[in-house]
């Protein structure tokens, strides 16, 4: 059974506290839906570019943007284009899975993410099967073996044990950042595919963070942190006394990797906090008074009014992840405090509109 070995040192504990502080600070910032959408789009582009760049993709950040927006193509770099589109679409799948309020992803979910990564963004109905032979990771310059993963016959069992551990560790309340770090590490360790393991491991870590409440609306890019110092990334994840999986890696102490991963999270979260604070100060200068009248849930629900005039309690429930009865009570309280107005009083199909003084905050052209 998979049992990761690690110690929560003072350094690791401090990094976890920095993550929590930045996360809370970001939640309290008066960010408008329009600004949120802009920051998210930038982060998704950066995540796609830097994660594929780690694997040798030659497209620049601007070229990757052009490929995603279909404003330009690069015939001599079709494989690079396919990698960019695959990763970008896989981020969509991560958000889709996160919206289902799962506890952990299933093996099929992980295989589906890999299928999208490897197929240029096209969704395959059949998840990718694991490799049926041995693969070896070599240094591109020296040709020396960097890592020899487990044999193909052991991969299915290792993946089952891994996913079961993710579920059990959540029930034991291991901090979400550590579970995400271990997910990244262990998937890369098992290396269940011939190709796409690095990208999928980073997407899996992102999914675990989303499921654990550390998604920050997709505003950060851990991939950028890794890409900015690749030797440090490779050194942190290359753990064990031997390059051979069966000669110590499975039992190796991964404390150093956890510290590295959480340092990256703390750095990325703090960058988001600074950027969001600067952007909010500029773009919301004339709206800050109204925004500060709203609590965190109310600011989040402003997003629902970006593409509609009216909302229902069930829509609020799904968006906030609460039960229907709770959503109805929330909407009633918001009417009482002047955040919402009742546009259609019918009990079964009651609809709510945003109060007039808050409509400009939704940045909805139709309002």
Please identify, among 279, 311, 330, the residue that sits at the C-terminal boundary of a domain.
279
Query: Would you put residue 311 in left (φ > 0), alpha (ψ -120 to 50) or beta?
Result: beta
Instruction: Give the residue-averaged pLDDT of 76-97.
Output: 94
**Which has more confidence, 291 or 103?**
103
The more confidently predicted of residues 33 and 232 is 232
- Do both 82 and 160 map to the same domain? yes
218 and 87 fall within a common domain: yes
Residue that finishes a domain, picked among 216, 245, 279: 279
Q: What is the pLDDT of residues 319-336, one digit of tens each?
A: 888 888 999 999 999 999
The confidence score (pLDDT) of residue 285 equals 52
Q: Are residues 57 and 196 in the same domain?
A: yes
Please tell me the predicted confidence (pLDDT) of residue 289: 67
Do residues 208 and 100 both lie within one domain? yes
Report the alpha-carbon distance of residue 295 to residue 292 in Å, rounded: 7
Q: Are residues 77 and 116 in the same domain?
A: yes
CATH of the domain at 340: 1.10.10.10
Question: Is 4 a member of any domain?
Answer: no
Contact status, residue 262 vs residue 19, Cβ threshold 8 Å: yes
Measured CA to CA, the distance from residue 367 to residue 365 in angstroms comes to 6
Mean pLDDT for the stretch of residues 339-362: 85
| One domain for residues 249 and 297 | no
> Based on the domain organization, do 103 and 229 belong to the same domain?
yes
Q: How confident is the model at residue 366 (pLDDT cuts 50, 70, 90)?
A: very low
Report the pLDDT value the prediction gives residue 288, as an integer from 0 to 100.
58
Question: Is 158 buried (19+), middle (13-18) or exposed (0-12) by CB count in 10 A?
Answer: buried
Determine, yes or no, domain membership for 55: yes
CA distances (Å), 215 to each of 3, 61, 351, in order?
Answer: 26, 23, 29
User: What's residue 159's pLDDT?
Assistant: 97
Comparing 116-125, 205-214, 316-325, the range with the smallest average pLDDT is 116-125
268 and 294 share a domain? Answer: no
Instruction: Specify whether 181 is located in the same domain as 320.
Output: no
Determine the structural domain holding residue 323 and report its residue range.
Answer: 288-362
Distances (CA, A) of 202 to 29, 38, 199, 205: 27, 23, 5, 5
Whether residue 147 sits in one domain with residue 117: yes
Q: Is residue 173 part of a domain?
A: yes
Position 2 in a domain: no
Question: Which CATH number belongs to the domain containing residue 90 in this structure?
Answer: 1.10.3290.10
Same domain, 118 and 222: yes
Instruction: Please count the structural domains in the chain.
Output: 2
Distance between alpha carbon 201 and the CA centroid of its chain, in Å?
11
From 279, 305, 320, give the residue that closes a domain.
279
pLDDT digits (tens, 9 = 90+) for 159-198: 999 999 999 987 778 999 999 999 999 999 999 999 999 9
Query: Does residue 342 lie in a domain region?
Result: yes
Which of 75-79, 99-103, 211-215 shows the lowest mean pLDDT across its residues?
A: 99-103
257 with 302, same domain: the answer is no
């Amino acid at each position: 059974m998979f049992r990761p070995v690690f110690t929560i040192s003072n350094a690791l504990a401090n990094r976890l506290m920095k993550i929590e502080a930045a996360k809370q600070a970001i939640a309290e910032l008066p960010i408008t839906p329009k600004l949120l959408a802009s920051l998210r789009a930038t982060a998704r582009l950066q995540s796609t570019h830097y994660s594929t760049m780690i694997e040798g993709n030659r497209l620049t950040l601007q070229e990757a943007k052009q490929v995603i927006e279909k404003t330009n193509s690069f015939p001599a770099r079709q494989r690079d284009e396919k990698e960019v589109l695959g990763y970008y679409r896989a981020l969509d799948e991560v958000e889709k899975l996160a919206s289902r309020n799962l506890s952990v992803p299933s093996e099929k979910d992980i295989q589906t993410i890999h299928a999208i990564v490897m197929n240029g963004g096209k969704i395959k109905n059949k998840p990718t099967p694991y490799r049926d032979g041995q693969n070896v990771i070599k240094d591109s310059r020296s040709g020396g073996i960097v890592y020899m993963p487990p044999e193909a016959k052991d991969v299915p069992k290792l993946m089952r044990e891994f996913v079961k551990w993710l579920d059990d560790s959540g029930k034991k309340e291991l901090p979400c950042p550590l579970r995400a770090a271990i997910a990244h590490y262990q998937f890369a360790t098992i290396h269940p595919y011939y190709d796409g393991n690095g990208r999928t491991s980073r997407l899996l870590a992102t999914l675990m963070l989303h499921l654990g409440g550390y998604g920050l609306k997709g505003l950060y890019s851990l991939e950028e942190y890794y890409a900015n110092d690749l030797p440090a990334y490779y050194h942190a994840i290359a753990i064990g006394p031997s390059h051979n999986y069966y000669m110590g890696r499975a039992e190796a102490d991964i404390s150093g990797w956890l510290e590295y991963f959480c340092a990256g999270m703390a750095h990325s979260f703090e960058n988001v906090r600074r950027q969001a604070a600067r952007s909010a100060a500029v773009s919301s200068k004339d709206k800050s008074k109204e925004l500060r009248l709203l609590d965190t849930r109310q600011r989040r629900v402003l997003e629902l009014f970006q593409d509609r005039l009216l909302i229902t309690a069930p829509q609020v429930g799904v968006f906030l992840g609460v039960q229907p009865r709770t959503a109805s009570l929330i909407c009633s309280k918001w009417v009482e405090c002047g955040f919402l107005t009742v546009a259609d009083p019918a009990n079964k199909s009651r609809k709510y509109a945003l109060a007039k003084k808050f409509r400009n905050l939704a940045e909805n052209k139709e309002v």
